[in-house]
Structure 1
Amino acid sequence: MIQVHISLLCLLFIITNNRLHSITTVSEVSVKAGGSISIPCLYEGHKWVTCSFTVKTDEAGTSDKLFISDDEDQRIFTVTINDLTDEDSHYWCAVEVKDGPDVGKNFKLSVARGSLQLYVHNQEMTGFNGDDVTISCYHSISGEGGWCRLGGSCVTESSGSIDGTKVIINVNVPGAFTVTMRGLRTESSGWYYCVKGDLQMPVHLTVIKKQERPSTTVTTLTIGETFIIRLSFLIFITIVVLSICFTFKRHLNLGSC
């Protein structure tokens, strides 16, 4: 098994005239041993000209341990770490900048073999434009809770808004709080995270336009079709009853049915 201890790098970013400003990511995430986690790294700066990716580890090769993908529109690269072990504790989201200083931000993984302190059932959520979506954030720790957009604002009260989308937080269920985002827009797509105490849990939301909603075919029957189906069923039942009756008559020499 390859043990990763050093940095996760998105290398060879070339920017025009200006340097990369900063990287934003979560600070500490509770994860389960043997599981996987996706961590978003937001890079803020000017337009990139070109980019390629690499991962630095203690040994050559990455096997199925790590995967990095980049969303140039939202300027976020995502690191997925699989087969988590106790060795997976400290990482860096980092960018090597041509003709400028490298920029990075560290995050910590708290690997648990028992119950997690803060988790969601699914890091990938989908909603439809104009509809609502609800995310349940489960926890076993105390501290202030909330819902934040990566690199943006947070809601820690029972209601608020993030980038014009209303957010409702319900804390009435023991061991969990639910986050409902109302009136989704396509601009609502992106990375968010649950907050509880010192922990965060990233969640990616994809908002689909209503015309892209998968269609559902509904089959309807006319009154005539319904009558024919019922009549056919009654005829079938009558034939079965008469067959049974004549069978008993022949073997038991009964009277007429």
Structure 2
Amino acid sequence: MTGLKKSDVGWYWCSVVDVQVTDALTVTTVVTMTADNEKTSIKETNPHTTPVSSSENSMDKRITVIWSLMGVGLLLLTVLVFCICMSVRKFNSENMRTLKHIAVKSGDSVTIPCFYDESYKSNKKFWCHGYYWSSCTIVAYGNTHGSTSVIDHPTHNMFTVELNRLNTDHSGWYWCAAEIGDKYNPDDKDYLYLTVSAAPAVSVLGSRVSGEEGSSVSVQCLYSAAYQNKQKQWCRSTDWSCYTVGRTHTSQNSTVWIREGIRSFKVEMSGLKKSDAGWYWCSVGDVQVPVHLTVTDALTVTTTVTMTPESK
């Protein structure tokens, strides 16, 4: 600062990123008399001002770099903690799959399918309740019966969870899981949300249907007015594919018809094959209701003709 004035007196600070160092500026008057006392020069100086060496400048730069690196490190640590928390909350594997949001009417029962990889055939299965996987409560293990029944079907690589006499208190987060029992490989699982209410957003007329091979079956899927403009689908677990309104030929040569009505849509499957048997679900928006299809052998009619000798 050159040409100092009395008005320059006050506080100033050096600032590097978010670090400041304050200093006061004092202006004094220095009077210099010549030998003959005829000429006077006046110089305003700041006694607190000292030259800054190059080593001090270098130190300031190093401090700035350290602060910057600490800031970046803190940001990366925050992102890492966030990712870990998210993985603990909602980790799911392709080796364990189920539906994502199931709606049920109060007082009713529901059977939920949980599909697992073939390598889990001999592993213990269980049903867990809780928002966080790390702290969820095991409700029932495989092949147990009661208000919650868990039945393993290793030949189909799946297990079912049957929930009976449901009420609104049963709404919440649940987990289909297989016990791995290895400290290097955590238990495998997938989550879903169950909504139990007096008037569910989506429902079906009959959650279990059966038909003979070559015949047809139909399922009526109902939904509330709030879901009128949501996407309607009929999905199957065989390949996790879904069909929308219209006519579709499946890979098994059977035909799926979906006709939309007033707050409902009807699914008709014709030309049934044994390979069509399995789990399906009505899907409206983000809500699903599971449906099981059984395909039985076609009825064979045998006609017996009895011949009698003619009288002569």
Q: Which stretches in structure 1 are left out of the alignment for 5+ residues?
A: 1-19, 216-257
Aligned to 1:85: 167
Q: Distance in 2 between matches of 1:126 and 1:22?
A: 29
Q: C-alpha distance in 1, partners of 2:139/2:177?
A: 19
Q: CA deviation at 1:102?
A: 1.4
Indicate yes or no: 2:104 matched with 1:31. yes
- Inter-partner Cα distance in structure 1 for 2:262 and 2:248: 22
> RMSD of aligned C-alpha atoms?
2.6
**Pairwise CA distance, 1:35:** 1.8
Encode CA deviations 1:100-139: one digit per residue, 9 max, x unaligned.
33111111111112x2211112211101101111111111
- Counterpart-to-counterpart distance in 2, 1:197 and 1:160: 20
Q: For residues 63 and 191 of structure 1, do their structure 2 counterparts lie closer, same or farther at Cα, with a shift above 3 Å needed? A: closer
Match of 1:109 among 176, 194, 204: 194
Structure 2 alignment gaps of length 5 or more: 1-92, 130-136, 302-312
Query: Higher RCO, 1 or 2 (CA under 8 Å, sep at least 6)?
Result: 1
AA of the residue aligned to 1:64: G
Structure 1 contact 21–45 (Cα < 8 Å) conserved: no
TM-score by length of 1: 0.67
Corresponding residue number in structure 1 for 2:269: 181
CA distance in 1, matches of 2:283, 2:264: 11
Rg larger for = 2
Aligned with 1:96 (options 179, 186, 202): 179
Whether the aligned pair in 2 keeps the contact of 1:24 and 1:151 (CA below 8 Å) is no
Moved over 6 A (4+): 59-63
| Per-residue Cα deviation, 1:33-69 (whole angstroms, up to 9, x for no partner) | 2221111011123373x35455567699888320011
Q: TM-score, normalised by structure 2?
A: 0.56
Conserved in 1, the CA contact under 8 Å of 2:110 and 2:164? Answer: yes
Q: Which stretch of structure 1 is more off in the superposition, 174-183 or 147-156?
A: 147-156
Distance 1:151 1:107, change over 3 A: farther
The one-character-per-residue Cα deviations of 1:43-101 (angstroms, maximum 9, x if unpaired) are: 123373x3545556769988832001122222111001112122322111111124333
> Offset at 1:32?
1.5
2:293 to 205, 211, 219: 205
> Counterpart of 1:132 in structure 2: which amino acid?
S
Per the alignment, do residues 101 and 90 of structure 1 end up closer, same or farther by CA in structure 2, a change over 3 Å counting?
same
Deviations 1:1-51 (A, max 9, x none): xxxxxxxxxxxxxxxxxxx85211111111112221111011123373x35
- Greater fraction of residues in helix: 2
Which of these residues, 246, 250, 255, is aligned with residue 166 of structure 1? Answer: 255
